[in-house]
Each structure stands twice: as C-alpha cells, then as structure tokens.
Amino acid sequence: MNIYLNGKRFRFWNGKAIGVKLDAVDNVELLKNAFQLKLLEGWRPKPRVIKIKPRVKAITFTESLEMKLSDFQKQDYSFHYKRDCKWVLSQWLQFSSDRKLSKLTIEEIKKEDIEDFIMQPKWKAKTQRNVLINFKTLTRGLKVEGLSGIKIRKGKSELHKPIRDVKLLLEDIKAYNRNLYLTCLLTYGCLLRPHQELRLLSWDDIDLERGIISLSGKRNKSGKNRIVPIPTYVRDALQKENKGEGINLLSQSIKPFNRDYLSVLWGRYKKQTTVLRAGVTLYSFRHTGAIKVFEKTGSLLKLQQVMGHSDMKVSLTYLRGLEVKQLDVEDLPEL
C-alpha cells in the first residue's frame, strides 16, 4: 500500500507503523482507511533512514608484511633473525615499488610476483634460500600462494681456504691494532663469531680462573647457552688486559662499538698489510680453528659444541665447505 505525502511516497505492508495488527494481504482497504484516520489525527510517517556503511579500505600485501614485522620484532627471537627479516622486508619494499605492486592486496599478488622477488639474479642461491625462509616467516598466516612450490637452485660448493700460518698473521695484526688482534685471537682460539659475539663480549662473560667464556642464548646464533673453554695462549693475552665489571672487552667502556666497527677495521688492515692472503677474512680464523678442532678430536659432537651450532647437520655442512682432509693416504686402495 502506497501513501503520498509532500511529494514523497511511503510504502507499508502492514499496520505496525500506526499500531494496528493488520496486513495488506488480508484487507488492503481496511488498512488504507486506518492510515487515513491516523493522518487526520496528525500522525505522519517517518522518513526512512538508510545507513551507509563506511567503506573499509583493503589492507595491501605490503602493509600486512609491515604489521607482521612489527609484531615479530616484539617477540623473543634472536638479533640475527629479526635483522634478516627486516632486511627482507626492505628488499620487498624496493621490489614492489619498482614493479608497482605496493597497492595490491594479498588476493591480487600473483605467484609469479613472489617467485620473481625471491629468485632475483643479483642474489646467489644461498641468499635466495635465506630470503625464502625469512619471507615465509613474514607471511605466516597470510595464505600466500606459491611459496611452498618455489624451488631454489642448488649453489656450487665454495671451498674456504684456511690460514696457513696463524701465528705469523696474528703477529702482524697485533702490531697493527690491539682490538683487531684480540678479535682474531678469540675467533681462532675460542671459535667465537666476531661481529656479534666478540664485539659484544664483556669481562662479565669471561672467567679466567675457571678458564671459560659464558654466553647466554640471546647472544649467539643457536639461541642456546654456550660455554667455551679458553686456551692457555688466549688466557695469557687476556691476563694483560684491563678488567672491569660490565666493561666491554674491545671498547673498554660499558657501551660496545657499533655493528660495522670490525668490518671497517678489517678493511683498513687489509689495505696496508703484506702478509694477508687473498680471500682471507675475519671468519677465516673461525674456519681455521674449526679445522684444528676436528683434526685433533675427529668428533663432530665436540665441534658442534665448541662452534655453538644448533644442530650437528650444521657442523657437517660447515666442514664440507672447509679444506678438511677426509681421507689419509693409508685409506686409499693399493695395487
């Protein structure tokens, strides 16, 4: 039933608006008369209010990644894990901007876009694998298609050359810089990671009486507490240093040096030395120390413990990339 008032049409299917229990399908004329009577009494129909729901802006895929990273940074993960995920997101921001993908939602992102990002030619196979792992972390729970089907090409094994004369190289470094010498000495003798574990090492972590260095799980890559014995020659070198509670070994203050300190120091040393072989890095001291441990003990378990690896498979993979003799001459077949 239609009612016209002031040029507007109002439609009613029953008398609920005027308090009458009557449907139009039962008696439309009676319902019409009831409305006319109400209109004469001064009743007026209320205009219908149409509520328009505000349009919710769809969250883009990139915004979802940024929110994931923000939440991830608040969790109790290692420094390296958080740093790597942050770097992967920065790479995606650049890639998505160049490809004009920044405004696409999760549903609009194609499998090919993800594959092209992870399989960028500028990255080696190892880097692509790490990007894939960290990208999966950032997209966990987002239902991104294509991630599980990405196959990283197998990279060629790289053989890390050990240091031939450790003593000679250490003496040359000692004459150049005290901090670089202590870093290389402990990287080789205690197999500590230079840029994180050694840079942040304080005298609180060193117990010269017991001959051990103790690192909490938050301080090393495996996430587990790590206790490393101190060789005699390392202990003798540390005995001569100034010690103080809470004092950093390298900076000799409470605050450690920044993350790039050792990289810059090593780069400056390389430019002026005549002793250093091509391809030798700070990590070469750790590689060389690992070889010595394995050759002396023949034990993967001991190597895993002293290296601070989370799994023995990591130690085995590590050895494969080093110049370690797998066989003796006596093991070879004879005629």
- What confidence score (pLDDT) does residue 332 get? 44
Q: How far is 16 from 29, CA to CA, in rounded Å?
A: 16
Domain spans in the chain, listed from the N-terminal domain onward: 2-40, 61-138, 166-320
Please indicate, yes or no, whether the overall pTM of this predicted structure exceeds 0.75: no
pLDDT in tens, 245-289: 889 999 999 999 988 899 999 999 999 999 998 889 898 898 888
pLDDT surpassing 80 at residue 317: no
Task: Tell the burial category of 328 from Cβ atoms under 10 Å away from its Cβ (0-12, 13-18, 19+).
Answer: exposed
Q: Specify which of 8-22, 96-110, 204-218 reaches the highest per-range mean pLDDT.
A: 96-110
Task: Return the higher-pLDDT residue of 154 and 35.
Answer: 35
Cβ contact 88:134 at 8 Å = yes
The alpha carbon dihedral of 69, 70, 76, 80 has a sign of positive
Q: Are the beta carbons of 327 and 302 closer than 8 angstroms?
A: no
Structure tokens belonging to residue 199: 């840079």
Segment 28-32 mean pLDDT: 83
Model confidence band, residue 35 (pLDDT cutoffs 50, 70, 90) = confident
Contact 256, 219 (CB under 8 A): no
Residue 181 CA to residue 183 CA, distance in Å, equals 5
pLDDT digits (tens, 9 = 90+) for 2-13: 777 777 887 877
Q: What is the pLDDT of residue 173?
A: 97
Q: What is the DSSP string of 217-277?
A: GGGSTTSS-EEEE--HHHHHHHHTS---TT-BTTTSSSSPPPTTHHHHHHHHHHHH-SSPP
Alpha helices (runs of H) in the chain, residue ranges in sequence order: 28-40, 61-73, 79-98, 111-118, 125-138, 166-176, 178-189, 232-239, 261-272, 282-297, 300-307, 312-320
Q: What is the pLDDT of residues 112-170, one digit of tens each?
A: 898 999 989 888 888 888 899 899 889 888 888 767 777 777 655 555 678 889 999 99
Mean of the per-residue pLDDT values for the chain?
83
For the range 3-11, what are the long-range contacts, defined as Cβ-Cβ under 8 Å and sequence gap of 24 or more?
A: 3/35, 3/39, 3/45, 5/39, 5/44, 5/45, 8/47, 10/45
Neighbour-count burial for 156-184, b at 16+ CB within 10 Å, e otherwise: eeeebebbeebeebbebbeeeeebbbbbb
CATH class of the domain whose range is 166-320: mainly alpha
Percent with pLDDT over 90 in the chain: 34
Confidence at residue 181, expressed as pLDDT on a 0 to 100 scale: 96
The Cα 262–Cα 180 span in angstroms is: 7
Give the pLDDT band (50/70/90) at residue 327: very low
Question: Does residue 180 have a pLDDT over 90?
Answer: yes
pLDDT tens-digit series, residues 49-70: 767 666 667 889 999 999 999 9
Q: Residues near 267 by Cβ (< 8 Å), separated by ≥ 6?
A: none
Q: What top-level class would CATH report for the domain 61-138?
A: mainly alpha
User: Of 6-20, 77-91, 321-335, which one has max mean pLDDT?
Assistant: 77-91
**Burial environment of residue 245 by CB neighbours within 10 A (0 to 12, 13 to 18, 19 or more):** exposed
Mean pLDDT of 174-179: 96
Produce one character per residue of 98-115: b if its CB has 16 or more CB atoms within 10 Å, e if not. Answer: eeebeebebeebeeebbb
Give the pLDDT of residue 313: 74
